[in-house]
Structure formats: structure tokens, C-alpha cells
Chain A
Amino acid sequence: MATEAKTKYDRQLRIWGEQGQSALEKASICLLNCGPTGSEALKNLVLGGIGSVTVVDGSKVEAFDLGNNFMLDQESLGQSKAKCVSAFLQELNDAVKAKFVEESPETLIETKPSFFTQFTLVIATQLLDRYLLKLDKICWQANVILVVARSYGLTGLVRISMKEHDVIESKPDHFLDDLRLHNPWPELKEYAHTFDLNVKTPVVHKHIPYIVILINIAEEWANTHGGSLPSTRQEKRDFKDQVKAHMLNLDEENYKEAMDASFKVSAPRGISSHLLQIINDSAAEVDSTSSDFWVLVAALKEFIENEGDGEPPLEGSIPDMTSLTDYYINLQKIYQAKAESDCLAMEQRVRNILKRIGRDPESISKASIKNFCKNARKLFVCRYRQLEDEYNTPVLPELQKYLTDEDYSFAVGFYILLRAVDRFAANYNRFPGMFDGDMDEDISWLKTIAVGILNDLGFHGSTIPEDLINEMCRFGGAELHAVAALIGGIASQEVIKLVTKQFVPLTGTFIFNGIDQKSQVLPF
């Protein structure tokens, strides 16, 4: 990467690294409708150095566009909106290719579905659901990711649609270090044994790394408890006391760290239920059509059942801890060596599997296998439902639960009402409350439609709060800049996660609640 780009992107490279950046630079994004929601979403991606953007919009700039869209100014009046927005975006970053198509997204969806297959990802904004359903089918078939974003008055939604998204680098905020204190391998145990916890030299005593302390005391414990480690609450307390009893004085940082980490010796052996679900997924039964990810998972499954003895490959890194430099470096080397030998075993398995399914055994690089091993405990598989499924086969018990939960009542209300306004628009060719004069009539019509949707979903007799229906009509389809910037911002953040394949994207539907900011993700 060039020095200038490195400096320009420094603050984001610290988050997703050069790998993530290069994935962004390879991506081509299509935006449907460039009102503020879509324009703001693209702005964030262009600043970050996305490969290319194509803005699709068939409308001309009108006066009211200048009241909510920063990419348009007085000189844009009467011109193609797509052209003006694309020109502004280009100004933001000359490393990005900004293109535009002056055509209505609805027309493209109806007449030229093949248009969409050229993109990595399509962001569909402010699109009525009957077109979204069609677009979703097109994208699903072509393996193009679809991100739906909608701003509507003080509410809005973001949703992702694709078959499956697999994440190796989920980069969770807090995750237990992979120390194996509950299950040390022979080399680690051997190293721990070279220490005498009763050493009298204070400077040595207070610099024994807590890993060593805990392994030795856990062994002491096991010897007096029939080979088992502390498991009940009382035992864990007693164990901690036993650690404390080794302190020469109460300000020895290494022993404080050992006490704080003492629960780690009681960690259950084996893998989390989350990981178990992934290795037992039917996709892990691989054939020549399987993705690299699932080939790696298949190898992981074999590893856990064989060399791993129930555990995944060791991550290989240790956190900083109070220690003499030498002790710490030695420990680091022991963890690294084990991680490397685990990785080697994994590599063998990956190559064999590839051979078995008729692929080039070298088609997955060593670096990829290493990265997979480092993150094996943190894998994520996100599966999505097609929009059509969401519309036609709702998750009834889930929806029922949220309908009656106070924390969710606005969010579920908006979820139904956002559908209701589209049905309203299909019937009356305008959004409810768009014109002041129709207000009272629109409120009662919208209510009827909302109740109808609830009935279709199987909730007879359920209603949406009256106040919310009124507010929805008051919004009159308004696209407020602040709401659009927020929804667009969230959409762009999800795009980054999907394209870099880092972090975990949204599953379900994000419903924005701009009234009291109690936004929610509904799991459907």
C-alpha cells in the first residue's frame, strides 16, 4: 500500500488491517435511490476507499431535495440526481470509481435483472416492498449481497439478505484468552515445573507469571482432590484462597493477577456449544462445491476429534502479565510452538480433504489455514431468510413475544407499520399523511391496513398503539436528514462488515426508533 494511502486510512487500518482494506478496494457497490439515506451510506464507504460505487436513480433534483441531501446544492436543481450525487462522491476520494445510471431502480428491476449481477453488493434504499421482493430474488440467485435501508419520519429499518455469510475474524470485544490452564499440554506443564513457588528471593517470587502459578497450584489441588479441579463455588473460593496463601506480601501483582484468573482453571474442557453447532452443521460434510470456509470447518472437526483431544487448535498468543522478561518470552515460545504444531496438523487435514473432494490440495494457502486456526473458537455463520419467506412465513411465537414486550412495543409497531405504509402506497399511490388535508382519513385507512397485516400474520384481535399510527401518518413519508444519516450510517457499517468479512453483521431486522432512541433488532 502506498504511503499516502497508509496515512490517509491509518485510523481504519487499525481496525480492519490491510486485508480488510484490500477487500473494500475490490468491492463494487450499487446504490438504488440516492436520497439522503443512500447518499450518506455511500459517502461513508467512499471515504473509506471502497472500490467502486454506482448510483442508480431516475429522478431530477427538486427544491425539497436541497432540504435533506448534502450532496446536492442549488446548482443541481433540475439535473439528474444520480449524476450530481456521484459527482460529489467522486470529489471525496479520487481512489474510488464513482459511476451513475440515470434510470429508476424499479424499471431496472422489472426490465433488466441482469444489471445487478455485476456487483458485490446492492444497497436498496427507500424502495417499496413489492420491488424489494423482486430484487431480493434476483440478488439471491446471483449471489449478490442485498442491504435494505429505509428512513421514514422518525423510524426506519436496516436488513441484510443473502444465503450465508461466514466469518473467521469476528474480532469480539471480550473473549477469554486461550490459555488451557484447565488442560495444560506436557511442554507447558514441564515448564511450569521448573519453578518453585516457595522460592525465597522476593524479586523472583513476585515475577513468576500467573500462568505458571495457576498450573502448579491446580496440580497441587488435583493431587489432593482425586484428580479433579475445583468445580463448585466453594471449591473455587477455596482454590483462590490457596493461591492467596502463596503470597509473600499482599502487593505482589503476579499473585493478584493469578487470583483474578483463578476461575480459568475451572473452565470446562472441550468446545463451546456455539462452535459445536458449526462443526456439526450439514455444510461441514464437504464436497467439490463446498466453500473454503466449510473445508476448513471439516478439517477443524477432524482435528477436534483426533489430535485436539476435544479442543480446537491453540490460538497461540498470551496476554501481558507481570513477569520477568525471560519467563514471559519462554512462555510465549511454548504457546507459539504448540499453536504451530496444531496448525501443521490442521494443514495436513485440509490438504487431505481437498484431495478427497477432488480439489487442488494447495488451493487453500497456509496463511489462510493459520488465520483460521487462530480464530477457530470465534467462527460465525450467519444465515438469512429470503425476504419472501419473512413476508409469507413469519416466526409466529417470536413475533407474539415481542408484541407483548413493553421494551419492544414501539419497534414491533414500527415493523408492522413500515409494511403498512408500503401497502397503503400500493393502494393509494401516496404515503399516508403526505398531504395535510387527507390526515384523518389516512389515519383510519392506515389502521385498517395495519390490522389486516396483523391478521395475515395470524394475530387476530391484536392492534398497534393508536399514538404510533397517528405518528406514522404525521411523518407523511418524510426523509429527515438526521434519521437518514443514521440509517445510512448503519447500512454502511454493515456493508463494511460484509465486505471485509470481519466482525459479525446484523441478523434479523434493525428497527430504528427515533422517538426515544430505544431501537431494537427483531430476530426476523
Chain B
Amino acid sequence: MADEALPEIRWRDVNKLLARPGNIVAPTFAHSPQLRDDLGKYVRVLVVGAGGLGCELLKDLALMGFQNIDVIDMDTIEVSNLNRQFLFRLQDVGKSKAEVAAKRVMQRVSGVTIVPHFCRIEDKDIEFYNNFQIIVLGLDSIEARSYINSVACSFLEYDDNDNPIEETVKPMVDGGTEGFKGHARVIMPGTTPCFECTIWLFPPQVKFPLCTLAETPRTAAHCIEYAHLIRWDEVHSGKAFDADNPEHMQWVYSEAVKRADLFGITGVTYSLTQGVVKNIIPAIASTNAIISAACALETFKLVSGCSKTLSNYLTYNGLDGIHIKATDFVREKDCLVCGPGTLIELETSVTLLQFIESLAEHPKLLISKPSITYRGNNLYMQAPPILEEMTRSNLRLPLFNLMDKVPKGTVHVSGSTDKDGKRTSCLRKLRVVFKGVDGIVDMDVAGGS
């Protein structure tokens, strides 16, 4: 990739916005002919997801002048991706999405470096995510969004007046689509609502009651879920159902047909069986392109300051004409994730082990198996075994001592919690205050309030 041969004239159009002064720009905007180059050289962007949105995002960001991009995705390419994930071809089926996507964009847009990460988002250290100035999310799962959100918010620190400290703000841009509909949003932790502040925008999926499936089925979907959730276990004792195994799917389909016939229900098809069992969300190229482009444009504006930015949640609906709406949602003041942290008062004698045990019972937290860090130091790590062994001796020491005997401080806790009956990874910030310890200057008293 002999990119040096390509002169800056390539960026003629982008430079119209970056090199010239403007009337409607961010207060921080410093127009300069050098700005595009700086954007390319010094800004690192992380794209989470290399699927329908991710492919588009990588292309869009590379062609808006970003040249240091990482992409993370654990999935491999399937045939049903090819109607929209335009970086993949039939011969790529089975390969890593992140790796193929990175390679294809690098082949076409010279000068851009895209580092693929073929792994789960939880496999990366928290610090990995701190390498990026901005994180762009192209995901289809609520759990994954929630996790990245909690990671980005964990970097956020507040000053003594509970105002977010600017250098610790990790902006996120998030997109999502379903059929002809989608959303794009900008999250500035501490200022605009984080994913968790507006979690009600993503209601959990409604499941059929088991008694309906077992006793009073009425629809094709009921018959399919009966075969999938009840009949499978009755027949295949102990063998786990695998939705990606065509034989398993075929079995569920034929069982569903039998059940439907028994009750006089119509409409069971193989395609519907797949849709119900895998909870398939319809997806098309155009909506992904629209939402990704909106996300890439917001990323470009946020980083460069060359215009205003979306404030802060855009919805797109193309079912009946074109409806685009921007809604200015407000932050949840007491949000557990993007707020200053849950306040915990402790005696100075409490050991790390006692502290860890108390987190599982804390009604707002309910975190089990937590790892604890303080100012980037591991106080206790559940995994990997070698780190666990190295930090195990801390468990019997008082937390007060481990935190350098400060009167108050923020610790980060990562563990798992129960959400709608599902174990999910979570990351929480706790503000620990030790009882009966005064700092050299008590800020509150000194402030005279």
C-alpha cells in the first residue's frame, strides 16, 4: 500500500470542512489545513462489531479521513450476511468478520490501518478500551451495548463538585437497525444519557408462557417454541440444542409440524422456525447504510468540532415515507453506570474479602465474583489464575490500607449480575468513604458549606 504516493488532494472534499472557518461549529473547532492529517495520524477509533453496521462504519470512517481504526468482533461470516455486509464474499464464509473486513477496507483505501480483533469484547482488558478517543458501536445485542457502555463510563471521573472531568470522558456513538427502522445516538458520559440511563428504550423481548406452549398452543410460533424449549429436552436428554446445527433445526421444524397438525394450527415453515428459534431480526443494506453513515458523520463532527453534533438520539423510520427525528434525552442523575458512583461507607477495619462479600448483598449492586481495581492497580482479580494467585494475599488486608489510607476514593468493580434472569457481565464504579477518617483538609468544611 504505497499510500505516500497519494497527495493530500485526495481529501479535497473533507478539507472544505476542516481547513476553513465556519459559522456553525463547535466552540473547540480549530480549522487548519493540517487538521485532516492530525485526524488521520493521532485519533484512534474503535469500531465494535463488524457486521451490517460495522462493515459500513469501517468504510465510512476510512473515507472521512480516519486512519487508525480497530475493529472487534467474535463472529464468523455466514451466507445470510451477504445481502448487506458488502465487504464479504461467498468464499469468505467461515472466516473472521473482523479480519476480512479490516483487510478489504485497507486494500481499497490506501493509508488506513485497521487492526482486527477476532474475540469477544469481554476478552479484552478494560484498559484496551482506553486506547481510543472514541468508540463507535455497530451491534445488535443489548448485552454487548450495555457492557461497552459500562466500560466507557468506568473511565469517567468527577471532580469535587460532581462535574465530569473532561479528559476522562470517552464519547460513544451507537447505531442499531431493524428492518426499515433504526437509531443513531451520541453518548457523552456524564453529560448526555448513557445506554443504561435510557435502558427503557430497549424493552426485553416478550417470551411465551410455558403453559401456553404446553397446554394451549394457538400459533405456529407456539408449536415451534414447544419443540425447541420442551420437546427437545424430553427427547435428547442432556444434549444441548445448537441453533447453528441444521440437523437440530430440521428436527425442531418437523416436531413443530407434528404439533401443529395435532392441534389444527397452520403456518409452520422452516423459515419461520429459524426466525423464532434464533430470534432473527430482519436486516437490509439500505437501513444499515443510513444509520452507519449518520454514526460516522457524528463521529467525524465530534472529533473535529467542524459542526454541531446530534443532540442526542436520532430515530429513523422508512416504513411510511421518511421520518427522522432527533430527541434530546436527559441523563438519569443517579445512574449507577455513568454517575459519580455508588456511595459506600466503610469502617477502616473492613478487609478486601469482607468488602467483596458485601457487594453480593448490596441491593443496588448484587455483583458476584467481582474483581477490584483501584487507580489502575489490581487489588483482587478472579482470573486468570496467575493474577488471582498474585492478588489473593490482599483479601485479608483492610481495604483502607490497600487504598493508601485515603479518606475516600473510587474503586472499579467488574463481575457479573443478574439481568432478566440472565447472567451478564457488569462494571461498576464505587465511591468508598471511610468512616471517622478526616483528610488533612476536609473539603466540605473548608468550603464553608
Contact = CB atoms under 8 A, between A and B. Distances in A.
Contacts of A508: 321
Contacts of B309: 516
A11 B13 CA distance: 35
B216 interface: yes
A485 B22 contact: no
A324 interface: yes
A501 to B, nearest CB: 14
A436 interface: yes
24 contacts: A13-B271, A15-B282, A47-B83, A48-B286, A64-B13, A66-B6, A66-B110, A73-B107, A74-B110, A92-B86, A158-B322, A320-B222, A322-B212, A329-B264, A329-B265, A466-B23, A467-B24, A468-B24, A477-B16, A478-B12, A483-B297, A485-B290, A516-B326, A519-B324
A43 B320 contact: no
A48 B284 contact: yes
A232 B264 CA distance: 41
B21 to A, nearest CB: 8
Contacts of A476: 16
Interface stretch (B122-130, B236-244, B311-319, B393-401): B311-319
A63 B265 contact: no
B82 interface: yes
A492 B16 CA distance: 27
A8 B86 CA distance: 12
Interface string A33-58: 00010001001100111000000000
Interface in A456-478: 466-468, 470-471, 474-478
B292 interface: yes
B436 interface: no
Interface string B75-118: 00001101110100100000000000000000111100000000
A43 B324 contact: no
Nearest to B324: A519
A486 B24 contact: no
Interface in A1-15: 4, 7-15
Interface stretch (B55-63, B420-428, B439-447): B55-63
Interface string A469-512: 01100111111111111101110111011000001111110100
B283 A482 contact: no
B293 A70 contact: no
B218 A70 contact: no
Chain A: interface residue count, which band? 35 or more
Interface in A160-189: 170-173
Most buried by A among B216, B274, B298: B216
Nearest to A74: B110
Contacts of B10: 63-64, 66-67
B104 to A, nearest CB: 10
Nearest to A382: B321
Contact of A63 (B2, B6, B184, B323): B6
B9 A480 contact: no
A521 interface: yes
Contacts of B179: 15
Interface string A403-425: 00000000000000000000000
A15 B307 contact: no
B63 A516 contact: no
A64 B12 contact: yes
A492 B314 CA distance: 20
B188 interface: no
A393 interface: no
Across the A-B interface, the 7 shortest Cβ-Cβ residue pairs: A489-B289, A481-B63, A486-B293, A485-B293, A489-B290, A478-B13, A67-B10
A324 B184 CA distance: 43
A221 B64 CA distance: 66
Contacts of A105: none
B321 A504 contact: yes
A12 B180 CA distance: 10
A12 B284 contact: yes
Chain B: interface residue count, which band? 35 or more
A96 B307 CA distance: 39
A9 B293 CA distance: 23
Given A64-B9, A73-B110, A489-B287, 4 more contacts: A153-B17, A325-B216, A436-B20, A482-B296
A60 interface: no
Contacts of A439: 20
Contact of A467 (B23, B56, B264, B283): B23
Nearest to A91: B89
B308 A516 contact: yes
A47 B286 CA distance: 9
Contacts of A497: 318
Contact of A492 (B265, B285, B321): B285
Given A73-B108, A92-B86, A207-B216, A485 B292 contact: yes
A44 B13 CA distance: 23
B322 A490 contact: yes
Nearest to B264: A329
A515 B283 CA distance: 28
A478 B307 CA distance: 15
Contacts of A73: 107-110
B218 A7 contact: no
Given A207-B216, A480-B64, A503-B319, A70 B109 contact: yes
A482 B59 CA distance: 9
Contacts of B287: 489, 493
B218 A68 contact: no
Interface string A423-443: 000000000010010010000
Most buried by A among B9, B271, B320: B320
B294 interface: yes
Contact of B285 (A47, A68, A480): A47
A521 B289 CA distance: 19
Contacts of B322: 158, 490, 494, 506, 510, 519, 521
Contact of B16 (A478, A507, A515, A520): A478
A479 B13 contact: yes
B313 to A, nearest CB: 10
Contact of B289 (A4, A486, A514): A486
A328 interface: yes
Interface string B135-159: 0000000000000000000000000
Most buried by B among A158, A482, A484: A482
A48 B264 contact: no
B186 to A, nearest CB: 9
A477 B13 CA distance: 8
A433 B286 CA distance: 32
A40 B307 CA distance: 24
Contacts of A475: 16-17
Interface in B168-195: 179-180, 184
B178 to A, nearest CB: 10
A29 to B, nearest CB: 13
Contacts of B286: 44, 48, 489-490, 492-493, 496
B276 to A, nearest CB: 12
A518 interface: yes
A43 B326 CA distance: 27
Interface in B42-82: 56, 59-60, 63-65, 79-80, 82
Given A67-B10, A474-B22, A481-B60, A503 B314 contact: no
A481 to B, nearest CB: 4
A424 to B, nearest CB: 16
A154 interface: yes
Given A15-B282, A153-B17, A173 B6 contact: no
